[in-house]
Amino acid sequence: MATRNSAPKKNTAEQSPLETASPDWRDAGSRDERSRLIREALFRAAAEIVGEKGYQDASITFITQRAGVAQGTFYNHFESRQDILDQLLPALGEDMLAHVGACSNKGKTLFEREELGFRGFFSFLRTHPHFFRILNEAPSFAPKAYEAHLELVREGYMHFLRKARSSGEISGYSERELEVVTYVLMSARLYLGRYASQDGSNDEIPDWVVKAYCKLVRHGLSGG
């Protein structure tokens, strides 16, 4: 094509006057710091947009606009649109696991831990309102990332259940049957997520939901 000869002008027009709340990376000190901040701004913007509008509408134009940088800048930090989409779930997923793990660890028995972990998942959803959609749509838009995430969660859960089985808190389930249980419990959180993420409501998950879930799990597992 015609050689692009025009001289790039400074970013005069300040970014999208609308929703941009970009914690300004322009204040940065070192170049590395600045670069890091921009990368983070892009990442945050992508997470927000996917959380709000879905992967589908997370266009580069949108993401960079919200991050307050030029479109080209995106490609200094990520290889492609798919690249950043693929990184969303792993990054947030790790945070989620860490949070849930930390919550769960405060319990003593299996069921205490399960309840705390369950509650932890929903408190994470409240502090990370984008996570739910990022996770939910991942199978369609970031399948590999989703599989990896699933595997990670599954491993953790299986480990957790195996220990409980060894200690006798779970009875009547073979090893491979525990995997089935794992899937059921994992999926449950996803569907019950609707109790928590009702359109930006910042409410906690109702207590009776937790109770009902725990009841099901407790009897389902210990009486097996």
Distance of CA 160 to the CA centre of its chain: 21
Binding range to DNA, per CB under 7 A, among 76-84, 107-115, 118-126, 150-158: 76-84
Residue 196 CB, nearest distance to DNA (Å)? 29
Residue 143 CB, nearest distance to its own copies (Å)? 9
Number of shown-chain residues binding its own copies (CB under 8 A):
55
Binding mask 82-121 for DNA (x = CB under 7 A): x---------------------------------------
- Taking CB under 8 A as the rule, does residue 14 contact its own copies? no
Nearest-CA neighbor of 194 among 116, 132, 124, 142?
132
Q: Which two tokens stand for residue 84?
A: 């950043």
- Taking CB under 8 A as the rule, does residue 91 contact its own copies? no
Answer for which of 21, 71, 147, 198 binds DNA (CB under 7 A) is 71
Binding mask 43-82 for its own copies (x = CB under 8 A): -----------xxxx-x---------------xxxxxxxx
Answer for which of 18, 166, 176, 200 binds its own copies (CB under 8 A) is 176
Residue 91 CB, nearest distance to DNA (Å)? 19
Torsion 46-51-52-54 (CA) sign = positive
Answer for which of 19, 23, 24, 72 binds DNA (CB under 7 A) is 72
- Determine the Cα–Cα distance for residues 59 and 190; give it in Å rounded to an integer: 26
Residue 33 CB, nearest distance to DNA (Å)? 10
- Taking CB under 8 A as the rule, does residue 139 contact its own copies? yes
Which partner from the list its own copies, DNA, none does 6 bind, CB cut-off 5 to 8 Å by kind? Answer: DNA
DSSP string, the chain: -----SPPPP--S-S-TTT-----GGG--SHHHHHHHHHHHHHHHHHHHHHHH-GGG--HHHHHHHHTS-HHHHHHH-SSHHHHHHHHHHHHHHHHHHHHHHHHTT-SSHHHHHHHHHHHHHHHHHH-TTHHHHHHHHHHH-HHHHHHHHHHHHHHHHHHHHHHHHTTSS-S--HHHHHHHHHHHHHHHHHHHHHH-STT--PPPPHHHHHHHHHHHHHHHH--
Task: Name the site residues for its own copies (rule: CB under 8 A).
Answer: 1-5, 35, 54-57, 59, 75-83, 136-137, 139-141, 172-174, 176-177, 180-181, 183-184, 186-188, 190-192, 194, 208-209, 211-213, 215-217, 219-224
